[in-house]
Structure 1
């Protein structure tokens, strides 16, 4: 069964690779090989929680401290459910998008440590697709600020978006309908500058596919190859490859992953198929990835959505898949 799956995955990857070459632009850029992270041993996967799962409760607390919960209480929740780590989205820190006070960061870092929790990452909003260079420069500065925040927290990865942000509806509108190759250049230049800053502080820039500029695994790799920086990698959002077979896209990018967002459904919609957790974890194990797997639940306009209920259910599904796939070894891949 495993070998059959491996062959199918390989064939899907092979079919997508020519597309990656066509999405990439100048040949000189495409030839600059973007290296896969070096892995030793089999996969080693640790459950984590993405704080965005508690969007509603965290936002409620930001408005009224007597309601919802704060990041300290969210760490308590993670400890109660034996998560290995927490991914602390930047939006929920006091003063965002500015850096929080060091006293806050260090208190939160110590609290997580006392609970046995690692801080697996953080993330911000940015728009590197905009035609206006001032908008892109603002995003670069924000990433640099939060790279330094991550370093203080001991978080190894900062998430960067590869899509447009409000008031724009999509990357074409943000870019004033500039050609895709031009916009990929905007993104690559901004991400490379951020990665240079990340290298100084020991923090990796993880580029997330989010269903706008990056809809496919081939597009994801094309951008990373153009950035061509050892401190920039893929943050694979399992719910945001908008293709007929997202698992094939995940298989293509998994070897380059530095972090994840594991979603309940394959296209972050209540109407899309539920994530086949065993199939997904098989792909991740075959890629050789070693590290955290942050899960993220979303309300998706569901009536009565309760993150305190949905997160433990998803965690149980993840743990069952991890146990069922424990014997699966990485598939050797050419470099």
Structure 2
């Protein structure tokens, strides 16, 4: 999610909801034609949800009726004060079940740095995620997505994040939940760094969520703490996305299929998704590719639809 600055960069608004038959295509179930399954990351619709145009509770229905997608990835910011609200969680689950949808994971942000240099702050960050583990289990998700952020040298942050992830994964294991780390800016967008952290954590329910678009390891500083200022930042140093994806895939429990814009042939214009899907297939990954459209030239609905069409087309070509 995002470009390494969680919860800041917004995507274009959705188009009005048009009714359609909501039929699942063969490509959606991932069994007959594709080697992977398709889900929709809620962040793709962040501007519409933040603005109130789309209610978080309606996200599963919208994903199915508008795009024929039957699996969703939630973002905790859209129900940040509801993690322990059983009535609200029951309503979420009911709406998802009513549509025959699968809840895949919860993307968790703004709960502290798991690589925090301060021992107390780091402990608090770990404990802040406990409620999301419990919510994920209740909703039927298989994982929560966290961030391995912190201050200090690469080695120092890696050591602290490793300890925190191991502790959080131990808690999550009792709930049957996995803890997955996204390459989400800073050290975590260095594939070699994050893959080493995964090896050092060394527990089966801690893995990665490779985000194909999030390999910027160093950005310019925003002039102020606003969305516009963050949008104006530039990537000053980028890790090779194909190398990074390959390094993270052995630990992957999901993949974020990030897109920004498309050429006339319907391909993502800045990312070679044919190459990406080859890496995914070669790694033996058959789970969910979560559509995460973050472009600004198309309405969010159109960007999501184009991403789905591209993944289905390229996936069929590889079958």
**Which TM-score tier does this pair reach, normalised by the shorter chain?**
0.7 to 0.9
| Structure 1 CA distance for aligned equivalents of residues 117 and 182 of structure 2 | 20
2:253: which partner in 1?
258
2:197: which partner in 1?
223
| Structure 2 CA distance for aligned equivalents of residues 159 and 180 of structure 1 | 21
| Structure 1 CA distance for aligned equivalents of residues 68 and 128 of structure 2 | 32
Q: Which runs of 5+ in 2 are unaligned?
A: 1-32, 217-237, 262-267
1:87: which partner in 2?
73
1:56 aligns with 2:42: no
Task: Answer yes or no: is the 8 Å Cα contact 1:46–1:84 preserved in 2.
Answer: no
Q: Which runs of 5+ in 1 are unaligned?
A: 1-41, 62-67, 164-170, 267-271, 327-335
In the TM superposition, what is the alpha-carbon distance from 1:273 to its structure 2 partner?
A: 5.4
Q: How does 1:1-335 map to 2 (within 5 A)?
A: 44-61=35-52, 68-80=53-65, 81-93=67-79, 96-97=80-81, 99-125=83-109, 126-163=112-149, 171=150, 175=151, 178-242=152-216, 243=238, 245-265=240-260, 274-299=270-295, 302=296, 305-326=298-319
| Structure 2 CA distance for aligned equivalents of residues 215 and 143 of structure 1 | 21
In the TM superposition, what is the alpha-carbon distance from 1:306 to its structure 2 partner?
A: 2.0
Larger Rg: 1
Q: Closer, same or farther in 2 for the Cα pair 1:308/1:91, shift >3 Å?
A: same
Task: Answer yes or no: is the 8 Å Cα contact 1:278–1:324 preserved in 2.
Answer: no
- Superposed CA RMSD: 2.1
In the TM superposition, what is the alpha-carbon distance from 1:135 to its structure 2 partner?
A: 2.4
TM-score, normalized by length of structure 2? 0.75
SS of residue paired to 2:159: helix
| Structure 2 CA distance for aligned equivalents of residues 57 and 82 of structure 1 | 19
Q: Closer, same or farther in 2 for the Cα pair 1:129/1:44, shift >3 Å?
A: same
In the TM superposition, what is the alpha-carbon distance from 1:43 to its structure 2 partner?
A: 7.9
1:28: which partner in 2?
none
Q: Which has the higher helix share?
A: 1
SS of residue paired to 2:94: helix
In the TM superposition, what is the alpha-carbon distance from 1:279 to its structure 2 partner?
A: 1.8
TM-score, normalized by length of structure 1? 0.72
Task: Answer yes or no: is the 8 Å Cα contact 1:43–1:285 preserved in 2.
Answer: no
SS of residue paired to 1:258: coil
Task: Answer yes or no: is the 8 Å Cα contact 1:48–1:83 preserved in 2.
Answer: yes
Task: Answer yes or no: is the 8 Å Cα contact 2:106–2:144 preserved in 1.
Answer: yes
2:221: which partner in 1?
none
1:31: which partner in 2?
none
SS of residue paired to 2:253: strand
Q: Closer, same or farther in 2 for the Cα pair 1:190/1:244, shift >3 Å?
A: closer
SS of residue paired to 1:49: strand
Q: Closer, same or farther in 2 for the Cα pair 1:183/1:82, shift >3 Å?
A: same
In the TM superposition, what is the alpha-carbon distance from 1:211 to its structure 2 partner?
A: 2.1
Equivalent pairs, count: 257
In the TM superposition, what is the alpha-carbon distance from 1:237 to its structure 2 partner?
A: 0.9
Query: Cα deviations across residues 76-118 of structure 1 (Å, max 9, x unaligned)?
Result: 121121113100111111xx15524112212211221221210
